[in-house]
């Protein structure tokens, strides 16, 4: 684990950096101080004194940055436009101050700055084009690299061609949810009075947990705390005996993803506990229940009995009265924390929940189809390049998803844009190369270790990588590399890692 004192120091410095990075000379001096602390942290980790375990959102080192971003001015509408040739700014960023969200370990030098000279793009092309031709990337691949401080397209290779994104589509799902609901939104699970007892009402929080809290990061909603509050409310009403029903009607459409029953995702229900996992894991593949809502109700009934409330019979599924009296409620961690957890761990259950929450906020049915339409609309409103874009789910498990490398790289530009502070968790949730999440065991020898932050995407024959890179000259780049029809996934991953490392080496 990262030492608590070090986490707090990083947190404070990240907060100061975000507050002062608007092009002032004072911000430049502050960045140097931050780099000293961050570099020390990186060396400690690389030297073996720090063990990276799990998503850093659970240890709190990004809280200051997230809170600072959430309190910034409300987002302005982003103007869209087509990506141009290398060296051309993203039209959606014209007229805005050069700025970029810092990685965990920024390079020395000021963030933002003047446009890259032509030679810069030429050097990138010289280094990246041979890697793109590596046989491990199959017969179809594309790439896009932007300067996050200026919006310049520095490198493109078939960047506008739509490809299967796999889990990198979670970046789009996360951005849409944050745009629709804001980083501070929480998902509630409630207990209300019913006609002949009480009703457990699911709000769509897959992280509702029946397990004891652990760690010092944002806490998941606790089923035990909901049982405590419910037992107290019943006692106040002079009731020690009740009938329990449950309501999972907030979501609509099929429960099962198109891939069918699978250890990578539970049936998508508005009421579930611990993502429907049947073991004690909290990430990665696991056996899943076929009845997440009914299982959650059974677990809740057991907890009520343990608290002295007699629950009669088995819980039945009902639809609660919209005006029913609320007896108790618990709330999820903020949406920003859910986004970070979804991206760091590539969590399919949270990603599908984020898509449905976007649908609910947009007045659409909260099923696969309604969620896909709602997310698409929110992304278009952010000014992203939509030609060829097709969303079929929120997690990327569906091969029908199609986006371009230009779309992903420019989405990350939006997340770094000072006009869109609500999107900042898209950046802070990215795994750190060699340290966290799905990149923890990659980049062992690569130059990108610690300075690449990226979302991975993997399906059979599909390998993708999209994220940010901090360069030695002080630039922050956003990138997306996509490969289709790959036959050697491990080698394809290594080649993608070499491409990302080529941005900073």
Q: Which residues are catalytic?
A: 167, 170, 346
Other Cβ atoms closer than 10 A to 187: 26
The contacts of residue 263 (CB under 8 Å, 6+ apart) are: 285, 286, 287, 288
Other Cβ atoms closer than 10 A to 25: 9
CA–CA separation, 251 vs 126, rounded Å?
50
Residue 381 · residue 179 · CB < 8 Å: yes
* 361: nearest Cα among 348, 349, 377: 377
Alpha helices in 190-263 (DSSP H): 223-236
Rg (CA), the chain: 23
Residue 71 · residue 43 · CB < 8 Å: no
The contacts of residue 95 (CB under 8 Å, 6+ apart) are: none
CA–CA separation, 339 vs 177, rounded Å?
9
Look up tokens 């997310």; give the residue. Answer: 375
Residue 315 · residue 401 · CB < 8 Å: no
Q: Classify 427 as helix, strand or coil.
A: helix
* 408: nearest Cα among 505, 285, 500: 500
């Amino acid at each position: 684990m990262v030492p608590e004192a070090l986490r707090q120091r990083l947190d404070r410095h990240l907060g100061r950096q975000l507050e002062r990075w608007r092009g002032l000379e004072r911000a430049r001096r502050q960045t140097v101080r931050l780099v000293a602390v961050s570099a020390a942290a990186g060396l400690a980790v690389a030297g073996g004194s720090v063990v990276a375990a799990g998503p850093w959102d659970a240890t709190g080192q990004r809280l200051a940055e997230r809170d600072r971003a959430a309190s910034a001015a409300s987002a302005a509408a982003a103007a869209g436009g087509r990506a141009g040739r290398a060296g051309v700014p993203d039209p959606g960023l014209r007229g805005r101050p050069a700025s970029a969200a810092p990685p965990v370990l920024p390079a020395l030098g000021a963030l933002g700055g003047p446009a890259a000279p032509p030679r810069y793009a030429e050097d990138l092309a010289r280094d990246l084009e041979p890697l793109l031709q590596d046989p491990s990337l199959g017969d179809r691949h594309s790439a896009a690299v932007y300067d996050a401080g200026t919006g310049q397209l520095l490198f493109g290779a078939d960047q506008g061609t739509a490809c299967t994104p796999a889990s990198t589509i979670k970046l789009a799902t996360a951005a849409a949810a944050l745009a629709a609901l804001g980083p501070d939104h929480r998902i509630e699970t409630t207990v209300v009075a019913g006609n002949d007892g009480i009703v457990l009402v699911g709000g769509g929080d897959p992280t509702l947990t029946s397990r004891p809290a652990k760690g010092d990061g944002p806490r998941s909603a606790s089923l035990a705390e909901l049982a405590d509050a419910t037992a107290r409310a019943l006692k106040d009403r002079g009731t020690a005996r009740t009938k329990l029903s449950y309501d999972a009607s907030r979501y609509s459409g099929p429960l099962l993803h198109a891939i069918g029953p699978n250890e990578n995702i539970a049936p998508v229900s508005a009421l579930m506990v611990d993502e429907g996992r049947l073991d004690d894991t909290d990430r990665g593949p696991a056996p899943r229940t076929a009845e997440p809502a009914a299982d959650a109700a059974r677990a809740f009934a057991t907890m009520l009995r343990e608290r002295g409330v007699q629950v009669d019979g088995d819980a039945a599924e009902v639809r609660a009265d919209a005006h029913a009296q609320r007896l108790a409620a618990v709330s999820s961690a903020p949406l920003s924390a859910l986004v970070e957890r979804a991206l760091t761990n590539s969590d399919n259950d949270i990603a599908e929940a984020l898509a449905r929450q976007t649908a609910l906020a947009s007045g659409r049915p909260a099923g696969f189809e309604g969620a896909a339409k709602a997310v698409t609309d929110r992304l278009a409103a952010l000014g992203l390049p939509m030609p060829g874009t097709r969303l079929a789910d929120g997690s990327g498990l569906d091969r029908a998803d199609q986006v371009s490398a230009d779309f992903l790289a420019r989405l990350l530009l939006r997340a770094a844009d000072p006009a869109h502070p609500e999107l900042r968790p898209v950046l802070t949730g990215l795994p750190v190369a060699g340290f966290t999440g799905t990149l923890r065991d990659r980049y062992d020898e690569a130059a990108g270790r610690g300075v690449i932050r990226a979302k991975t995407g993997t399906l059979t024959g599909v390998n993708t990588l999209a994220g940010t890179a901090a360069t030695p000259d002080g630039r922050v780049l956003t990138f997306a590399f996509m490969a289709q029809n790959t036959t050697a996934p491990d080698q394809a991953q290594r080649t993608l890692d070499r491409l990302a490392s080529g941005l900073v080496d």
